[in-house]
Amino acid sequence: MKTDMQVVAIVGAGAIGCSWAALALAHGMAVHLADPNDSALDRARGTISAHLADLDAPADAGSGLTVHHEATAAAGMADLVIESGPERLDFKRELFAALDAAAAPDVVLASSSSGFGPSSFQDACMHPERVLVAHPFNPPHLIPLVEIVGGRSTSAETIDTAMTAMRTLGRRPIRVNAELPGHVVNRLQAALWREAYDLVGRGAISVADLDLAVANGPGLRWALLGPIATQHLSGGPGGMAHVLEHLGPPMVEWWNDLREPELDPELTAQLVSGVREELGGADDAVRARRDEALRELLALKSRVGLDGAGGDDA
């Protein structure tokens, strides 16, 4: 697989694609951004410029951007292709077949898919061994985590090349060793959302107070260490063994009490109205403050040596 990543093709000029593009540009790479929609490409330039400012990129970083209407034109010039199109399997199968025909055979084809495993679309390609999922977290130019997922036909060399490419982009890639709907971290999020929705739905807590509880309690610790390392540290000298011995049985009782809420119109309306009331229509301002805090938190984690805590991605 090609390891000299100087040119990146980004397919899809939506939120994820623009974020990927800014990240690559900030790392001095040339970016070929493809989208068939003129208005999407027009909006992309402003979005990418704002992201480059977030990253304190050089003033001329945006000059490395070239836009295309055809995904194949972008892929034909790339050392790495990242697809960030709609989450529809029929679309991805057709697109990856076209990308596979256009890109050089030693170029990794990565999908940003948040739920599909690569086995579901790589068989549409003549070179399925170079197809995988590189699932980022929104916004990818700030959040360092990327899940690398191989399919039945993905080669070990492709996995290694993708891991290296993500590190070159300043990301923290993790290898997911099984194809699961939603990969790993989306499943963890879904588990928390399921219980959160149920607690709101049964009237145990308001949307605002639930968010307040997570953001000012466990979320603070989880931002520094993962949930298992955090649990271990809470056990004092006995660590995880002590925690599981003393809190394991009641935790199992809590598991058994968890319910499966139905996402019906009533609960949906309750969640939508609750978060609207919580944010008071200031979504953009809250997002901007969040992103500013993310940058400062990432810098702090790096400064105190917690940016790689909890494991080694090598």
Per-position b or e across 190-201, b if 16+ CB within 10 A of its CB? eeeeeebbbbbb
**Alpha-carbon gap, residue 35 to 221, rounded angstroms:** 39
Residue 169 near residue 110 (C-beta atoms within 8 A): no
**Alpha-carbon gap, residue 290 to 273, rounded angstroms:** 21
**Alpha-carbon gap, residue 124 to 120, rounded angstroms:** 9
Q: Which residues are catalytic?
A: 147
Q: For residue 203, how many C-alpha atoms fall within 13 Å in the half-sphere facing its CB?
A: 0
Compute the radius of gyration of the chain from its Cα atoms.
21
Quote the DSSP letter at residue 202. T
CA distances in angstroms from 237 to 233, 234, 241, 242, 249, listed in the order given: 8, 9, 10, 8, 20
CA distances in angstroms from 301 to 11, 35, 124, 144, 247, listed in the order given: 32, 36, 42, 12, 29
Q: For residue 80, how many C-alpha atoms fall within 13 Å in the half-sphere facing its CB?
A: 29
Per DSSP, the three-state class of 248 is helix
Quote the DSSP letter at residue 62. G
State the helix-helix crossing angle for 265-279 and 207-216, rounded to 10 degrees. Answer: 60
